[in-house]
Structure 1
Amino acid sequence: MLLGTVLVLFLLGGAGTASAHAALKGSDPVDGSVLDAAPRDITLRFTESVSLLEDSIRVVDPENRAVDTGKPGRAGGRADTASVTLPTGLDDGTYTIAWRVVSADSHPISGALLFSIGEPSATAAVLPADLTEDPLTSSLYDITRYFAYGALALLIGVTFFLAVVLGGPSEVLRRLLMAGWLALLLASAVLLLLRGPYERGTGVGAALDLSVLRDTMVSRPGLALLARLALLAVAALVLVRVRGQGQQGQQGEQGQEWGKGTLVGGALLSVGLAGTWAAAEHASAGIQVPVAMTSSVLHLLAMAVWLGGLTALLTVLYRAPNTLSASVVNRFSRLAFVSVIVLVVTGVYQSWRGLGSWSAFTSTAYGEVLVAKLVAVLLLLVAAAFSRRWTGRLGEASAEAGAVDEAAGSAEAVGSAEGAASTTVAEPVKAASVQAGDSVQAADRAEVTARATVAVAARGPERVGATDSEASDGAADVPSGGPVDTGQGGRECPAAEDSSAADPLRQGLRRSVLAEFTVAVVVLVITTVLTGTLPGRAAAEIAKESAGAAAGGVTASSTTIPFDVGTPNGHGKVQIDLGPGRVGKNSVQAVVFGPDNGIATVPELRLTFTLRAQKIGPIDAKLTDRGGYWVTDDLQLPLPGKWTMKLTVRTTEIDQVTVEKSVRVS
């Protein structure tokens, strides 16, 4: 149920391309720059450490010929840089730099830059196909990531529910536990195979390339996946042992299948599995890495215990509601409360670490997704509050039923004991005198009948809808001779009556737990999306770097303008770089990105500038298409002020849209 719900929410909501956590914050030469002489090397600087591929940086000359650069390396030994050395004797013209690296949190990122030697020129350069992600590979990888998160929650949460909450065997939950283990095993194996094609932006067929798989296995994400598979193999041995102990325990005392050693081993395996996520995602990069990884592990474990436990509770409520006692529900309620506290504490820390400032809530994509998660968590807490209320009512009802059962049981015990004693005394008397024995037996029958009537009356309130006349009838039906068995008297099936009395409460609890479970899955999906979004702290660092470049007179502004022509796949965004952003001659570079955040080609792109305060314009930028990049180096802006950029994007022969955005010129 959990994995199916995750898939449905993914298909309905859409995952999109991961924004990743590293981003290019600078380059040398600067994007769009014109140099008097050829540079000796090319250096890219990122917001966090990155892993390099064999061809992470490729340079193409104006004639679309690859420039021999050799293998990429590091600038000054820094892990957040990538660098290649250029050969001597490069001709004048415009060169294209295509780059692709893997960020420290395992997400691949890519892009392209331009620089010119001497004077800008037309270029026939064609961007490499793997500069953007392969849609099928990316989609399969993202879907499998969702399944892996859900399977982890199922495996750890159901395990904790069986061991800590239920404390005994359950065939229904054991099957659910095995389903979680198998799903996580398959998802991890698929992720390991798809990791290479996902990093390189190639098709699914590359998953069968042994050289690609070999490279994956020595990378940090690959090692984390291999460790996860090894831990799952150990977990399989533990589950087999628990199952064997459970089968033996069914013949003896219930609840002995989870020994102390098994509990400790299961806890260590859970921490290890959660650690394979923390070691390969954003917690392993950035500031305060040890604290961040610890927080990430605790956050993931708390999520798994709560969400997986909800799945187990919901399964029992629907499949075997009569076996679920109020004490079990109360234990899970306390465990869920502890999980919520851990989630809140670790979530606050991770939010601070990712955002960096309050303004990032509204100014970055990370902040917007985080706000959506916070809203979902609030809804989840509301649903959890309803579940706790129903749990309290169920506990009160069970306590009242237990008190009635105890009183009735005491009355029945007294009646049976005294009835037996009377019969024992009657036998010797009968041997001495038949007439006296008949009198004693008559007295015994009257006394036992009276006690049975008292017992039934004491038990009467436990029966929903029972009347006084029914209680009296129960007393009248007592046999007229011999000892009376009051163990089931007046109540044919105690379990059925308990279930009948608690049915409204169990139904209410079932509905609230289902709502809590549904919202929890939504939180899980949003969390998975959040792990693939550029944090606000990194976005602020990029903005600061851009501002520094603008102060140096290189690039004054980088503006992103979204567009949508109203057709399928007819939406995206255009990034416009204006430099130096001052009065006089300026250069413009525009790049169109499609729905998948990859660079897209369009048949026409027009850009004009208007200074409405002075009634100047529109001034046509006269952009020229240079193989996916639209550029001009001769835009004259006569006055400072707030200029309006009007952008027209045509995606087909008949589909186009015009959008506007302002830019300040100094």
Structure 2
Amino acid sequence: MTRQLRLFLILLGLALASLAAAGQALAHAALIRTAPADGAVIAGAPAEFSLSFSEPVSPLVLSLIGPDGASRALTRFTLGDRTLTIIAPSDLANGTHVLSWRVVSEDGHPVGGSVLFSIGAPSAAPPILTAQTDPAVRFMLWLGKLGLYLGLAFGIGGVAFMAWVAPLPAAARAPIASFLALGLLSMPIAVAAQGLDALALPLSAALQPVAWQAAAASSFGRTALIATFALLAALLALFRPGGRGRLLATFVWLGVGAALAASGHASAAAPQFLTRPAVFMHAVGMAGWAGALLPLAFALRQPDGAQVLRRFSRRIPVLLVIILISGLALAIIQVERLQALLTTPYGLVLTGKLALVVALLGLGAFNRFRLTEAVVSGRASARSQLSRIIAAEIALVVAILAIVALWRFTPPPRALAAAAAQPASVHIHTGKAMADINVTPGRTGPVTISVSLLDGEFGPLAAKELRLALSRPEVGIEPIERQATRQADGSWQVSDLTLPVAGRWTIELEILVSDFEMTRLKETLEIRP
């Protein structure tokens, strides 16, 4: 076994180990706001529900579980970019309901959750079922993505060699065609796994139409469609010599960028005018660089191989500049903080990718500055050494793509930051008074607390003063007291407060209704780290 093959197997093993340890996929689009609010008690049945997210989403499964535990599907809704408005059934009973939702975010990731609200007064909450993704589906999704990436990089990238370097060596056509076939065969695997993951279905449901429909409705459906046409067109270009073949090769090369920019983490990030073009350019540059390796290896066996190598060596710096600039822009947007490279799953995947890319750049630099001129001058030993290094580069590209496929299971730090910024909320309901409390952000550190007060009949409560206290006596934190300030809209606010630790805090409101009446409300809420 060669050293290059051993290196590839080690890196592939690390990628599979990372996949196994990734756990359940985390949410990539955060739920920002709901109506009714989570935990709210409302006087009468609402005409509609609304869910607002941090990114555009598409609904997959919507249902409402009533106080009696019966579940009914919610099929009437409208979608306005980031807000999903759902028509409520007209016969909702009093008591506690659970609005269960599962959507797919713009980056192709399924997101699910539940919202509890009560009509009239709370009752025993019906059970909430949490969707879990089958590990076999996760592996199938990773494998399908890897096969697709290999087809795009070595298949279409190999065809692109015709457009920007030189005609393909005849011996290179068969292996490039094999990679194109791999991409096409991997497509249905990736699409089926995308649908299964979106609906949290087991692997046994892979042939059910609903899974394929869910995948087609997601942003990955656009990627699959564009990539399929590009792979098929690349097969046609592969066996069309001359100017027409080169023109078609150019279009399918650009198809790699269009396919990968149609979905995924980075393409869904803001600002779109920067991220989508950056993904496009990064993908085109990657395919051009990686796809040139196989043709170069075969060209070195031909008499004119030195001239092909020199042409590639002169032109590759342009692609490398495109790859590095676009990659840097995307990394800054996605990671946001340098420490996230080592403290988040997404950052660790990026760090692993960067380490392999640095190794790949090192081999490329050695080829350009030490071996290219030696090959051009006719040294046979230099050709042999360069061929071995190109084999190592191919193994590194495969390992990089295997690691990149893991990004499907890791939320970018920007998405984690958006989720962390969401408020922690609690509703307190008594016969005399009610309060809706929002702590923003709902995590440790400086926070702002907003309180809306209602009387026992769901009308506004005209309080004279409001004082609140937060405590965690189990960890030695006695009540932190603050006087709230009335706002122009009638709500109350406390802004000069810092919560030092995460966990379940006790919050107590002291409401001065009049000079002779004081009402106290008490509840707990969860503060995230």
Tell me the TM-score normalised to structure 1 length.
0.59
Does residue 59 (structure 1) correspond to residue 61 (structure 2)? The answer is no
Does residue 115 (structure 1) correspond to residue 114 (structure 2)? The answer is no
Task: Write the letter of the residue equivalent to 2:365.
Answer: A
Moved more, 215-224 or 275-284: 215-224
Does residue 525 (structure 1) correspond to residue 402 (structure 2)? The answer is yes
Does residue 306 (structure 1) correspond to residue 289 (structure 2)? The answer is yes
Q: Deviations over 1:398-447 (max 9, x none)?
A: 53x5xxxxxxxxxxxxxxxxxxxxxxxxxxxxxxxxxxxxxxxxxxxxxx
Does residue 509 (structure 1) correspond to residue 386 (structure 2)? The answer is yes
Partner of 1:621: none
Task: Write the letter of the residue equivalent to 1:202.
Answer: L
Partner of 2:186: 187
Does residue 385 (structure 1) correspond to residue 365 (structure 2)? The answer is yes
Partner of 1:262: 245
Partner of 2:136: 136
Alpha carbons 1:644, 1:663 under 8 Å: kept: yes
What SS is found at the alignment partner of 2:112? strand
Per-residue deviation, 1:303: 0.8
Partner of 2:176: 177
Task: Write the letter of the residue equivalent to 1:30.
Answer: A
Task: Write the letter of the residue equivalent to 1:110.
Answer: G
Task: Write the letter of the residue equivalent to 1:279.
Answer: A
Q: Distance in 2 between matches of 1:640 and 1:327?
A: 67
Alpha carbons 1:283, 1:289 under 8 Å: kept: no
Per-residue deviation, 1:316: 6.5
Alpha-carbon distance change, 323 to 9 in structure 1, aligned in 2, over 3 angstroms: farther
Q: Distance in 2 between matches of 1:556 and 1:286?
A: 23
Task: Write the letter of the residue equivalent to 1:208.
Answer: L
Give 2:476's match in structure 1, choosing from 599, 612, 615: 612
Q: Deviations over 1:171-214 (max 9, x none)?
A: 2x111111011111111233344443332222344443346545
Per-residue deviation, 1:368: 4.6
What SS is found at the alignment partner of 1:64? coil
Alpha-carbon distance change, 98 to 212 in structure 1, aligned in 2, over 3 angstroms: same
What is the number of residues matched between the two proteins? 458
Q: Distance in 1 between matches of 2:14 and 2:294?
A: 16
Moved more, 194-203 or 261-270: 194-203
Alpha-carbon distance change, 145 to 363 in structure 1, aligned in 2, over 3 angstroms: same
Partner of 1:229: 228
Task: Write the letter of the residue equivalent to 1:179.
Answer: S
Per-residue deviation, 1:363: 6.6
Q: Distance in 2 between matches of 1:193 and 1:148?
A: 13
Alpha carbons 1:355, 1:536 under 8 Å: kept: yes
Partner of 2:33: 26
Per-residue deviation, 1:98: 1.8
Per-residue deviation, 1:293: 2.5
Partner of 2:78: 73
Alpha carbons 2:68, 2:126 under 8 Å: kept: yes
Partner of 1:431: none
What SS is found at the alignment partner of 1:101? strand
Q: Deviations over 1:111-170 (max 9, x none)?
A: 223334455443341416xx3323323321221011101111011232244565453533
Q: Distance in 1 between matches of 2:478 and 2:237?
A: 77
Per-residue deviation, 1:378: 2.8
Per-residue deviation, 1:220: 4.8
Partner of 1:272: 255
Partner of 2:437: 553
Partner of 1:370: 350
Partner of 1:294: 277
Q: Distance in 1 between matches of 2:163 and 2:223?
A: 27
Alpha carbons 1:108, 1:198 under 8 Å: kept: yes
Q: Distance in 2 between matches of 1:126 and 1:585?
A: 29
What SS is found at the alignment partner of 1:133? coil
Alpha-carbon distance change, 165 to 557 in structure 1, aligned in 2, over 3 angstroms: closer
Give 1:42's match in structure 2, choosing from 49, 59, 64: 49
Alpha carbons 1:95, 1:114 under 8 Å: kept: yes
What SS is found at the alignment partner of 2:114? strand
Alpha carbons 2:194, 2:215 under 8 Å: kept: yes
Q: Distance in 1 between matches of 2:180 and 2:498?
A: 64
Per-residue deviation, 1:343: 0.6
What SS is found at the alignment partner of 1:554? strand
Alpha carbons 2:144, 2:189 under 8 Å: kept: yes
Alpha carbons 2:290, 2:394 under 8 Å: kept: yes
Alpha carbons 2:56, 2:82 under 8 Å: kept: yes
Per-residue deviation, 1:557: 6.6
Q: Distance in 2 between matches of 1:9 and 1:176?
A: 26
Q: Deviations over 1:453-511 (max 9, x none)?
A: xxxxxxxxxxxxxxxxxxxxxxxxxxxxxxxxxxxxxxxxxxxxxxxx532x3454345
Alpha carbons 2:223, 2:263 under 8 Å: kept: yes
Task: Write the letter of the residue equivalent to 1:277.
Answer: L
Q: Distance in 1 between matches of 2:147 and 2:27?
A: 19
Alpha carbons 1:106, 1:221 under 8 Å: kept: yes
Q: Distance in 1 between matches of 2:89 and 2:119?
A: 14
Q: Distance in 2 between matches of 1:644 and 1:230?
A: 50
Q: Which has the higher Rg, Structure 1 or Structure 2?
A: 1
Partner of 2:87: 85
Q: Distance in 2 between matches of 1:278 and 1:323?
A: 39
Task: Write the letter of the residue equivalent to 1:48.
Answer: E
Task: Write the letter of the residue equivalent to 2:319.
Answer: S
Matches within 5 A, 1:384-423: 384-392=364-372, 394-395=374-375, 398-399=376-377
What SS is found at the alignment partner of 1:82? strand
Q: Distance in 1 between matches of 2:210 and 2:351?
A: 42
What SS is found at the alignment partner of 1:553? strand
Alpha-carbon distance change, 225 to 123 in structure 1, aligned in 2, over 3 angstroms: same
Task: Write the letter of the residue equivalent to 2:416.
Answer: A
Alpha-carbon distance change, 215 to 154 in structure 1, aligned in 2, over 3 angstroms: same
Task: Write the letter of the residue equivalent to 1:524.
Answer: L
Alpha carbons 1:110, 1:132 under 8 Å: kept: no
Task: Write the letter of the residue equivalent to 1:380.
Answer: L
Q: Distance in 2 between matches of 1:611 and 1:295?
A: 48
Matches within 5 A, 1:211-610: 213=212, 217=216, 220-240=219-239, 242=240, 257=241, 259-282=242-265, 284-314=267-297, 320=301, 325-356=305-336, 365-392=345-372, 394-395=374-375, 398-399=376-377, 502-503=380-381, 505-530=382-407, 532-546=409-423, 553-555=437-439, 558=442, 610=474
Q: Distance in 2 between matches of 1:260 and 1:104?
A: 38
Alpha carbons 1:57, 1:98 under 8 Å: kept: yes
Alpha carbons 1:357, 1:537 under 8 Å: kept: no
Partner of 1:105: 107
Per-residue deviation, 1:299: 0.8
Q: Distance in 1 between matches of 2:374 and 2:182?
A: 34
Alpha carbons 1:63, 1:125 under 8 Å: kept: no
